[in-house]
Structures are given as C-alpha cells and as structure tokens.
C-alpha cells in the first residue's frame, strides 16, 4: 500500500481554499499511484476553529466540503479531518473526526478520544470524546487511525485514564496513522518524534504521522510530518514551516519498500531537560516560526504592509529584520521618533539598519508634540517633578503617530515588546504596547539577542552597535533598562521558572536566587496582568505564552 502524507497550511473557515488544497494534493497523490492520502486534524475547516464550531452554518459548510472531496476519491482512499455531529442528545454536540473517503463514499469514520484542555487547547469545550474503538479496513490493511493527542498518553504520568492505541490493538492492526495539529514551541523539537517512536516501540507497528503547518494568529504549526517503520527507524521526515508531501510504500508484511532510514535515536526520557532556561535553544526554528507567524497573519487577514516603530534598539531591529524576511522589505515601513532624550547614535543605528535591509523609513521628532502636552497639562501638573507620567506621554505620542500613519496608508503595526517586558509590565499601554500583532511577546530579552546573532550569521544586517549597547527606553536622561529591571540573564531565568514551569517562589529561591528579587519579580508579573489582558495577539514560540494559553485572574491577590 502506497501512502501519501499531505502536510498543508489551511485557513480557518476558508472552505473553498482548504478544499482546493486538499483536491490538488489528491490529484498529485493519484499521479504517484498512491492508494491512500492522509491529511491533518480538522483539515476541512482548519485548526483550531474554536467557537466557530458553535455555528450550525459552519458545521454545514464542513459537510459540504466533505461532500465535494468525496467526488474526487475514485481509486484512492482519503483520510481527512472534519467535525462530526453527535447523533445522541447526551454529551457534547460534536466529535473531532477522521473520515475515510473512497470511490465517492464515506467508507468509515473514527473519533478523537483524548481531548486536550490545557495551554492553547480547549477541545472538551466543543467535542465529545470517543468511547468505542475500531480499526479501519482498507485494501487488505487494518488501519489504527488516531487523532493528534490520542498518541500522547504515554509515560510515567499519563494525563488521561485511557490509551486509544491499547484499545485498537485488540483488533490486530497493521499500521498506525495519526492526523495531527501539533503546534511548535522551542522545547517541542525532538519530543514529538520521541513520543511517536515510543508508540512504535510499544505497539511494534509502523507509523504515519501527518502534522499541520502554518500559523493561525498566535499558534504556529511547524509541520515535520513523520514516517517510522515497525523497528522504530525514522524513514521519512517532512519539511518544517512549509508545505510538503511524503510518500512511502508498505509491503505485504508491513515493512517499507525503497526507503532510506534517517537518524533519530532519542526516547521521551532522553529529551533535553527543560528545567533551566536556555536562550539559545532552537533559535533558528524560533526565527522561522516568527517569520511564518507574520507572513500567515498578513496573508490570511488580507494585509500587505507593516509599520514598525524603529528606536535603534535591539527589539525593534529584530522585529524589522523578521518582518522584511516575512513580507519583503518593500512592504515594511519604519518610523523613527526620537525625543530630546534619544541619543544621536540611536537614530544613526536605526537608519543604518534600514539601509542594510533596504526598506523605507521616515523620522518624526516627538519633542514638539511632547511640549504641547506639557503646556496643556501645566495647570494641572503645576510644578510636580518629572516622573513616569511624562515618560508615558512620550510613549503614547509615538503610539499615536504610528497608528496615524498606519491608518492613512493601510499598514498594520507590528508590536516590538519582548516577553521580559511584557511579563514585568515594563511598557506603556496604548503606547509601545500598541500593535496588530506582537512579534516578540513570547521571546525573552536574552532570546532576542540570540535571534539577532542568528539574523547576522551570514553578514551584518543588524548593526553591531545595536547588539552591544545597553538597552534603554530613552524616556528620561541617561535611562537604562537596568534602572528598573535586574540583569536580563537573571530576570529571564526567574521568569522562565515561574511562567513556563509554574514554579513557586520557594522553589525558585531554592535554586539560589535572591529572596527579595524573586518576590519582587513575581509581584511585577502578577500585578501587570491587566496590561497583558489589553495586549495584542502574541505569536507563540514557547511552551507557555501569554494570551489564550495562560489564564490567570487580573484581580487575583496571589503573590501580588
């Protein structure tokens, strides 16, 4: 049996586009003489559809798309992901399903058993878990078809009470096939392959694993579809961060015909220990995820051009470089907005960056705007000393200018706030926290520097002076980030323990960090939740990003 995996980038709710992608892949698979083609989880509608699933019209369009796909299944089986209406009153209204289509008909349907309700996942909000299991019979093979999370319930601390493959093994299947939508994060590189290998070792069956690719607002799917033989050798591996098709042929004895084994030896227990922060972990893949995140956000929303506030600092420099890669330099505009507190080299550095990248820029000084604000506020402020209020007036003046230009010329503002700043509230609402999407909001400051080195690996794009100089908001004389925040190497390590690993203050202090410093940082994180709640969507590259995957109370008292 020749099986093709179609790793595709879908657009949620764009049924016409998704269907055409699927039909095109089916046509290509037919040309290869494939018996079966496999698509990713909920491929008909795109993943995650979230509350669109509550609309009957949306579910009807899923069915219509499925009916269209059926018409193109002569002489080839098609495994495609689609929601299914639950025929019983009890339980949720839908199943998350995989359909086997063949010769214009629905040959079989299986439902997802394990419904994740953690981090960015909220599937039990919509779907009923499967409670009856069977293998699919197709062309003399018994297919154990599972959906994404169904193969992840292995290890010493299982999250669910049942393991679907244990149930399917009762029917003596020939091969495992998994339709997946498994998102990227920088700790999730080898562990996906490791969990698949662990399944193969446990069940002694070959595995075809089809993952989604593409960005859906915050969530980036990196592809990397996989084929393992029954001896747990990695046979084929799909491209990362782009569409791909893999083809492998199973013989009668369920071995592979004419394939090359790729190197991969790790098991889940051998994965990299994520207990300590590593700013350089998977920097290149993080960069590719951010590029894809911007590119898909713009293309799927119908946007074409981006604007960025260019300060001459590391965050805006990295954001602009990534945006130029994602959208093309001709579609990126930088606005430099120096104040009386800006150093000369900041503007020079920003100009040099723009010249290196070849995108358009303009300079608008904000001092005249700032002075008018102070003049109008003088009757109220009187002789009160300069403080954060005057600093924020500058940040909001910049935000207003950026949005004014964005509105006039149909740009989308890319936010440049990094995760260290976002975590500690080191930013101004409606000022430097404005934006259509956050590029670095899930990237710690030390990781921003790692990205800068990645960008400069072939030749200098980001001027070295931007990388070398001490970071500063330049909102008052001689200001440095270190005036308000600890050294970023220490800050990021503590934030990682608290945010990504959910460690409490005692555990973090037990690692040798200063008691007062830990308590201060954790308080900053929790008291800044109201700012993050009003922040723009953040491209997710970590195992715990701010936004839909992290839900804490704004008015909670814990550690605040």
Active site residues: 41, 112, 148
Which residue is it, tokens 């800068």?
Answer: 452
Q: Where are the beta strands (DSSP E) in 151-266?
A: 175-179, 207-210, 213-216, 219-222, 226-228, 234-237, 244-250, 256-257
Would you state the torsion angle of the CA atoms of residues 228, 232, 233, 235, taken in this order, to the nearest 10 degrees? Answer: 0
Beta bridge partners, 234, equal 228, 262
3-state secondary structure of 351: helix
Q: Greatest CA separation found in the chain? A: 88
Given a contact cutoff of 8 angstroms between Cβ atoms, the answer to whether 215 and 298 are in contact is no
3-state secondary structure of 395: helix
Which residue is it, tokens 């018994």?
Answer: 142
3-state secondary structure of 353: helix
Nearest by Cα to 297 from 442, 437, 120, 440? 437
Calpha distance 532→534 (Å, rounded):
5
- Using CA atoms, how far residue 157 sits from 153, 187, 197, 550, in Å, is 8, 19, 18, 22
Given a contact cutoff of 8 angstroms between Cβ atoms, the answer to whether 227 and 235 are in contact is yes
Beta bridge partners, 100, equal 79, 108
Calpha distance 6→236 (Å, rounded):
13
């Amino acid at each position: 049996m020749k099986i093709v995996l179609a790793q595709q980038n879908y657009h949620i709710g764009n049924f016409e586009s998704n269907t055409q992608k699927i039909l095109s892949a089916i046509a290509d698979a037919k040309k290869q003489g494939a018996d079966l083609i496999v698509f990713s989880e909920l491929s008909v509608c795109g993943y995650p559809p979230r509350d669109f699933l509550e609309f009957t019209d949306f579910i009807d369009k899923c069915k219509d798309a499925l009916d269209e796909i059926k018409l193109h299944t002569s002489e080839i089986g098609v495994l495609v992901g689609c929601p299914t209406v639950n025929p019983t009153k009890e339980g949720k209204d839908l199943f998350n399903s995989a359909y086997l289509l063949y010769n214009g008909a629905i040959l079989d349907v299986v439902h997802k058993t394990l419904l994740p309700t953690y981090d960015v996942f909220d599937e039990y909000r919509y779907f009923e878990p499967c409670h009856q299991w069977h293998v699919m019979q197709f062309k003399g093979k018994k297919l154990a078809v599972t959906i994404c999370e169904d193969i992840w319930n292995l290890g010493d601390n299982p999250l669910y009470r049942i393991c679907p493959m244990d149930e399917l093994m009762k029917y003596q299947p020939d091969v495992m096939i998994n339709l997946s939508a498994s998102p990227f994060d920088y700790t999730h590189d080898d562990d996906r392959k490791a969990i698949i290998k662990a399944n193969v070792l446990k069940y002694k069956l070959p595995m075809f694993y089809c993952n989604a690719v593409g960005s859906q607002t915050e969530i980036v799917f990196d592809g990397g579809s996989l084929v393992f033989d029954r001896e747990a050798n990695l046979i084929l591996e799909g491209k990362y961060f782009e569409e791909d098709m893999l083809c492998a042929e199973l013989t009668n004895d369920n071995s592979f015909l004419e394939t090359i084994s790729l190197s991969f030896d790790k098991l889940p227990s051998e994965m990299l220990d994520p207990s300590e922060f590593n700013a350089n972990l998977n920097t290149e893949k993080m960069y590719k995820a951010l590029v894809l995140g911007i590119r898909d956000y713009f293309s799927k929303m119908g946007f074409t051009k981006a604007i960025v506030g260019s300060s001459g600092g590391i965050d805006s420099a990295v954001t602009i470089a990534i945006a130029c890669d994602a959208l093309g330099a001709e579609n990126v505009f930088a606005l430099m907005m120096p104040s009386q507190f800006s150093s000369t080299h900041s503007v020079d550095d920003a100009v040099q960056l723009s010249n290196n990248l070849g995108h358009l820029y303009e300079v608008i000084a904000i001092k005249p705007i700032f002075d008018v604000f102070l003049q109008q506020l003088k009757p109220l402020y009187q002789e009160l000393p300069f403080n954060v209020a005057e600093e924020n007036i500058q940040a909001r003046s910049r935000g207003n200018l950026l949005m004014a230009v964005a509105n006039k010329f149909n740009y989308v503002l890319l936010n440049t706030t990094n995760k260290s700043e976002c975590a500690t509230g080191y930013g101004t609402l409606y000022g430097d926290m404005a934006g259509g999407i956050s590029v670095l909001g899930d990237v710690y400051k030390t990781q921003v520097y790692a990205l800068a080195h990645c960008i400069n690996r072939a030749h200098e794009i980001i001027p070295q002076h931007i990388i070398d100089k001490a970071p500063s908001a330049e909102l008052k004389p001689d200001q440095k980030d270190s005036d308000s925040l600890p050294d970023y190497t220490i800050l990021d390590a503590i934030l990682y323990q608290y945010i990504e690993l959910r460690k409490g203050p005692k555990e973090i202090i037990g690692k040798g960090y200063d008691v007062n410093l830990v308590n201060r940082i954790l308080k900053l994180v929790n008291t800044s939740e109201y700012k993050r709640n009003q922040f723009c969507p953040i491209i997710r590259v970590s195992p715990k990003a701010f936004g839909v995957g992290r839900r804490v109370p704004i008015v909670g008292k814990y550690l605040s």
